[in-house]
């Protein structure tokens, strides 16, 4: 089975994403694309040393390390956690830290750049990712402004 098809099949399920710098993101997979950029909701970010942050807005991730499909195992736990409630509290921090989804364009790019995960050997495919990622974000931003 292809990894990308598994990823597409996992849309809507809770997953754990680990990045190259060791940070882990727990959240529901909202979207993914052929470059394996992913979009998560209700995300809990955990730094590599175990400190926790809450993040309510949508999170865009480029260049991941590995993903763990939590799926059925964690469905029940997630419901009970009430992460959403606490997410609201730290909205300020979340907003400052990551840059919300709404202004996804610049911030999203910034997130990608901040991470040391954009590896030393940046291949040409990563650049292609970024260009398409920007186009995609511009498109989404346009859609959202039109909706408003």
**Contact by Cβ (8 Å): 53, 45:** yes
In the complex, least distance from residue 31 CB atom to another protein, rounded to whole angstroms: 16
State which of positions 6-35 bind another protein (CB under 8 A). 6-7, 20
Pick the closer one to another protein by CB: 66 or 93: 66
**Contact by Cβ (8 Å): 25, 16:** yes
Q: Indicate which single residue of 12, 47, 52, 73 sits in contact with another protein (rule: CB under 8 A).
A: 73
Q: How many residues bind another protein (CB under 8 A)?
A: 19
DSSP string, 94-121: HHHHH--STTHHHHHHHHHHHSTTS-SS
Q: How many CB atoms lie within 10 A of CB 130?
A: 20
Quick one: which segment of 68-76, 85-93, 100-108, 137-145 binds another protein (CB under 8 A)? 68-76
Establish if 68 lies at the interface with another protein (CB under 8 A). yes
- Using CB under 8 A, list all residues that contact another protein: 1-7, 20, 36, 64-71, 73, 119
């Amino acid at each position: 089975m292809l990894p990308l098809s598994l990823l597409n099949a996992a849309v809507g399920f809770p997953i754990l994403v680990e990045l190259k710098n060791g940070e882990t993101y727990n959240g529901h997979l909202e979207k993914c694309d052929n470059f394996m950029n992913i979009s998560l909701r209700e995300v809990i970010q955990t730094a590599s040393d175990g400190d926790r942050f809450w993040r309510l807005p949508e999170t865009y991730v480029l260049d991941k390390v590995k993903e763990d499909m939590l799926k059925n195992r964690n469905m029940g736990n997630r419901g009970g956690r009430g992460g959403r409630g606490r997410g609201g509290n730290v909205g300020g921090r979340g907003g400052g830290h990551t840059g919300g989804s709404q202004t996804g364009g610049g911030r999203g790019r910034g997130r990608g750049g901040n991470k040391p995960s954009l590896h030393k050997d940046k291949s040409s495919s990563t650049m292609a990712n970024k260009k398409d990622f920007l186009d995609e974000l511009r498109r989404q931003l346009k859609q959202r402004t039109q909706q408003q």
